[in-house]
Structure 1
Amino acid sequence: MSTVKAGDTVNVHYHGKLTDGTTFDSSEGRAPLQFTVGEGQVIKGFDDALIDMKVGDKKTVNIPVEEAYGPAAPENFIEFPKTDFPPEMEPVVGAQLHLSDNQGNQFPVVISEVKEETVVLDANHPLAGKDLIFDIELVSIG
């Protein structure tokens, strides 16, 4: 039976959890995730975990921050004056918003702090700075 190597297209079922057991994503009830191993389509730790797996294999992998979404970058915290928010909007910590860059691309941010005159927005990936745990099942290769 063949094993997974870089360049193989695979289908996997997965259950992603934080170290406190909170689920952040799962393929349960959906089609398996399909991607090509080693092409950077998924985080490095997930990619690496599939090497040498056989169809039907299941494993649990602990993926440290460095092999997941990396640490939260201080430069991705943006401070905005409260006056830049619509008057009817009350900024609340944890609220998700979308900002646009100079090219019109939208990206999600989360309000991380509300100060007297400003609001601090976190533009890091929601899983940045977190160790992740994945239960993985290899469904098929090719």
Structure 2
Amino acid sequence: MSVIAPGSRVRMHYSLQLDSGFVADSSGNEPLDFVLGDGTLEPVLERHLLGLETGVQREFAIAPGTVFPFPEKGAVQEMERAAFPEGMPLEAGMIYEFNTPAGDAVPGRIVGIGEGTVTVDFNHPLAGRAFSFIVEILEVDDGGSIDTHGGGD
């Protein structure tokens, strides 16, 4: 049975889960297919996969600041309410997607609402937080390719 090594093609399910049980990110119903080392995953997370084989399920504790940086005060910005669609209900904790001048989508979490202003935190939602990296390895191929079209039920 193949084990995950640099350059292996891997198909897996994953989730990033906070201690509260909140799932910040996951592969959902569609497995993640990638080559270890291709930049799909952060290197810190990839290192946890080394040596795992098909069928393995693991949970790894990820310390604050090891994958996502600690929060930066400069990433919290006060914006005019007019920057948001008219009539859009705004609530603290809501995630809103902003577009950069280059057209990239950037999520921001609303952390405060004032008279005519909205305070938005553009730090990564997991910045400075501990979380669990939970994986289920579905397939490992150390040389060929993973069949993404067959598969059965």
TM-score range, shorter chain: 0.7 to 0.9
User: What per-residue deviation string (whole Å, max 9, x for no partner) do you get for residues 74-113 of structure 1?
Assistant: 2221111335445534542122222222223332212111
Amino acid at match of 2:37: G
User: What per-residue deviation string (whole Å, max 9, x for no partner) do you get for residues 46-84 of structure 1?
Assistant: 211110112222221011233332222222211113354
Question: Where in structure 2 are the equivalents of 1:115-126 lying within 5 Å?
Answer: 115-126=114-125
Identity of aligned residues (%): 28
The reply to whether residue 73 of structure 1 matches residue 72 of structure 2 is: yes
Q: Provide the residue aligned with 1:49 in structure 2.
A: 48
8 Å Cα contact 2:65/2:127 also seen in 1? no
Ranges in structure 1 where 5+ consecutive residues have no aligned partner:
none
8 Å Cα contact 1:68/1:132 also seen in 2? no
How many residue pairs were aligned? 141
Cα RMSD (Å): 2.3
Amino acid at match of 2:138: V
Give SS of 2:65's match.
Answer: helix
Question: Where in structure 2 are the equivalents of 1:10-25 lying within 5 Å?
Answer: 10-25=10-25
Query: TM-score, with normalisation over the residues of structure 2?
Result: 0.76
Q: Provide the residue aligned with 1:134 in structure 2.
A: 133
Separation (CA, whole Å) in 1 of partners of 2:70 and 2:100:
22
Ranges in structure 2 where 5+ consecutive residues have no aligned partner:
142-153
Query: TM-score, with normalisation over the residues of structure 1?
Result: 0.81
